[in-house]
Amino acid sequence: MIIVFGSINLDIVTRTARIPGPGETVKGESYQLIPGGKGANQALAARRAGSETLMVGAVGKDAFADLALENLKRDGVDLSQIMKVDAPTGIANITVDENGENAIAVASGANAKADASQLNVLRQVDGYLLTQNEVPEKETHLAHLKARELGLKIIHNVAPAYKLSNEELAEIDWLVVNETEALIVAFGAGISAGFDSVKAAEALAQQTGNNVIVTLGNKGAFSFGPAGNHHGKALSVDVKDTTAAGDTFTGAFAAALDQGCSVEDALSRASVAGSLACTVFGAQPSIPDKAAIENSL
């Protein structure tokens, strides 16, 4: 089972020829309202990859809440531990350029009131807790401690990235970072790796004893640590939108481990899933199911 403690947003997505610079306005023809949030995206990815999944988080009491939860509900994610709070549902303003690259500004809203005590209703369970950095850091830390009590393994996606304390690093079984996040976390841990994200991830694994995965876009992903060193190859795809590719990778990786795959196989499946997510516009609409992943392996 996968338990996700994290953010739930509604994405406001605009396509433009290019991403505007500071003080610049760039026109786009239209926009879409698409369910998102790193926590919700990863929960949906894990569910579509075939694992029983519980989403734990918070939404507002507004019209955006039902829209934000729509895909999770339809795909069978357990929403019994979603709180409705006195704050607006979180939103993300996403600009996507003609090359599929994106720039994202997030307003936390209800996510700032996500509460780790929501996990108190759980009992001992075999599985994984999946977390990110879009809810309060303190609550994520408490969620990790609760997961340890329950016997869950912890996969933490350090996005958005910040320095992690030694105590926080000690709580985590798997650390998932992209190229930029690897450098930020490594620097915060006193590691100098220049601009080489792979070296940063490998050094983090050696220093902390964590398993560390670094995702590298079309170069796939590398993992280092006690579970061994592995490389998952990405697919060669026509990139339309990279939004949620990293979330898809993380959710699919968690689901593969949950279903008994080896680390090497899980990394391959996750890399394929992340690649497929780049071929469809929008966050959650782009997340592939288990059949699509297996057909592309």
Q: What is the C-alpha separation between 10 and 62, in angstroms, rounded?
A: 12
Q: Which of 213, 206, 200, 207 is nearest to 246 (CA)?
A: 213
Phi, psi of 293 (to 5 degrees): -65, -50
Q: Which of 209, 224, 136, 222 is nearest to 172 (CA)?
A: 209
* Residue 212: strand pairing partners: 175, 224
Prior bond of 88 cis (ω within 30°):
no
Q: What is the C-alpha separation between 25 and 32, in angstroms, rounded?
A: 18
Q: Which residues of 42-54 are buried (b: 16+ CB within 10 A; e: fewer)?
A: bbbbbbbbbbbbb
Active site residue 66: no
Q: What is the C-alpha separation between 296 and 120, in angstroms, rounded?
A: 39
Catalytic residue among 97, 247, 258, 289: 247
Residues whose CB falls within 8 Å of the CB of residue 251, separated by 6 or more in sequence, listed in order = 2, 4, 41, 42, 43, 44, 45, 46, 47, 48, 49, 130, 273, 287
At 216, list the tokens: 């590298």
- For the annotated catalytic residues, the residue numbers are 247
